[in-house]
Amino acid sequence: MLAKLVGTDAALPEAAGSLLVAGLTADSREVEPGFAFAALPGTKVDGAKYIGQAFARGASVVIVNRGSYSGAGLVIETANPHQLFARMAARFFGKQPDLTVAVTGTNGKTSVAAFVRQIWLSMGFRAASLGTIGVVGPSGSEYLAHTTPDPVQLQRLLATLAEDHVGHLALEASSHGLAQYRLDGVRFAAAGFTNLTRDHLDYHATLEDYFDAKMRLFEELLPAGAPAVINADTAFSAQVMARCKARGLTIFSVGKLGAELKLLSSQRDGLGQQLQLQGLQRTHSVYLPLVGDFQTSNALVAAGLVLATGGEEVLVMHALESLQGAKGRLELAGKSKSGASIFVDYAHTPDALENAMTALRPYTDGKLVVVFGCGGDRDKGKRPQMGALAAKHADRIIVTDDNPRGEDPKTIRAEILVACPGAQEIGDRAKAIRAGVDGLSAGDVLLVAGKGHEEGQTVGSTVIPFSDHDAVRAAIEGEAYHG
């Protein structure tokens, strides 16, 4: 009934509470008889324009921004239709995994969610992760269009996982998803914070606005007293901890400056690292089979989320030794004929690109080569920053196309090249990767950055099939790659 779905979040018109709702959607084209339609105001289109169409298709009720509609039909007016819609979706589908944790931050969310899932699996739990690389669970994987799906898709997925007896879920909380209230209604047991660097300033007005969106997870969605697992080694960690304490959350800090899980030392050991960790119970010596300091940070945040929600410390430490990196996250994609290692990484921010290059430098006896570009219709300010970082850390740079979207690819490349004028420019991404591979000698390392797990390249409004992994394999074999 409508009254049950709305709860105390909004006032209902008299006698409307007993109305049965057959489904929910924010897309008027998906409305079926008996549906509730959310006329959400967006950055480009206001859903209020489609209220007439929704009623014509059989919508029984419409959720609207207060004062935005005065026509006929049953409407629920609210100051925050996004939030009301998300909470209604949660009540409509009802079921969720018993224990759900979230992770937010600029970089590392995908790795942390994957690591939490792997740790739980090693402990015998039926677990899943949800985010940028899709839903990964015991019954298989499903790709998602967005890191944080819309409320109806998200709640449907949670109910499906619960019906599949998945009791433990780790999900990524994106700034867009938090700012647009998509995660409201999810019952969180704990949340983690990785880091905060420049990203999505095409959407958020300022870095502070971006930070505030991230903090909604802790200040509004976590229940008081819940654990907040924080990477203590980042520039924003003190601010995060202060705001979490003010909210009444339980701080669980990790890292070199961590109090609950402290990194005492780390030493490179092959394609992994030997870690000395101080837990709440005792000191542990752990071999982490991952490359890079940032992956150590991600693993510790993941471990913290499991520990803070009741995981046994010895079992968690043991699980760290068998972690596998998430797809496209500093992933060894192959070796050239000369024996040079080739890595694929999703790095598409200045901080992530620098982290990937500095992580690979110790493994480079010859030249460090990087192939990267920047996305179109996104924050333009990070393009010269990424070019400058490539010039600082790499020995050879090839600037290519990422997802140009609606922008002129040549203009994007030019804005990068301003800061690395000695770089080679090859717009065709497959040819750029081929050039990078062909130029490798023994002891060199190639980093192909920006797209990671993605299976397509967005040019204009068209998504062209493209995989960095497949392009690397084709280049190693000396074959042309056409997607």
Question: pLDDT per residue over 66-84, tens digit each?
Answer: 887 877 789 999 999 999 9
* Closest to 442 (Cα-Cα) out of 337, 357, 358: 337
For the chain, the C-alpha Rg in angstroms (whole number) is 24
pLDDT for residue 80? 94
pLDDT for residue 446? 98
For 174-228, write each residue's pLDDT tens digit.
Answer: 988 999 999 999 999 999 999 998 555 555 568 888 899 999 999 999 999 999 9
> 293 with 286: CB under 8 angstroms?
no
pLDDT for residue 81? 95
Residue 337: phi, psi to the nearest 5? -60, -25
pLDDT for residue 63? 95
pLDDT exceeds 80 at position 161? yes
For residues 56-75, give the mean pLDDT: 89
> 274 with 284: CB under 8 angstroms?
no
Neighbouring residues of 114: CB distance < 8 A, sequence distance ≥ 6: 129, 133, 136, 170, 324, 325, 326
So what CATH class is 94-320?
alpha beta
pLDDT for residue 210? 87
DSSP letter for 168, please: E
pLDDT exceeds 80 at position 43? no
Token pair for 390: 């490539």
pLDDT exceeds 80 at position 416? yes
pLDDT exceeds 60 at position 238? yes
Question: Cα(386)–Cα(400) distance, rounded to whole angstroms?
Answer: 13
pLDDT for residue 199? 59
Burial 335-349 (b: 16+ CB within 10 A, else e): ebeeebbbbbbbbbb
- Whether domain 331-477 has CATH 1.10.10.10: the reply is no
Distance of alpha carbon 391 from the chain centroid: 27
- Whether domain 2-91 has CATH 2.40.50.140: the reply is no
Largest CA distance in the chain: 77
Average pLDDT over all residues of the chain: 94
pLDDT exceeds 70 at position 385? yes
* Closest to 92 (Cα-Cα) out of 133, 51, 34, 135: 34
DSSP letter for 269, please: -
DSSP letter for 14, please: T
Bridge partner residues of 156 (DSSP): none
pLDDT for residue 45? 78
Confidence of residue 274 (pLDDT cuts 50, 70, 90): very high
Residue 73 Rama label (left phi>0; alpha psi -120 to 50; beta): left
Domain chopping of the chain, boundaries: 2-91, 94-320, 331-477
Report the SS3 class of residue 352: helix
Q: What are the residue ranges of helices labelled H in 172-330?
A: 175-179, 207-216, 237-247, 293-308, 313-320
- Laid out side by side, the sheet with 424-425 consists of 331-335, 341-345, 445-449, 368-372, 396-399, 424-425
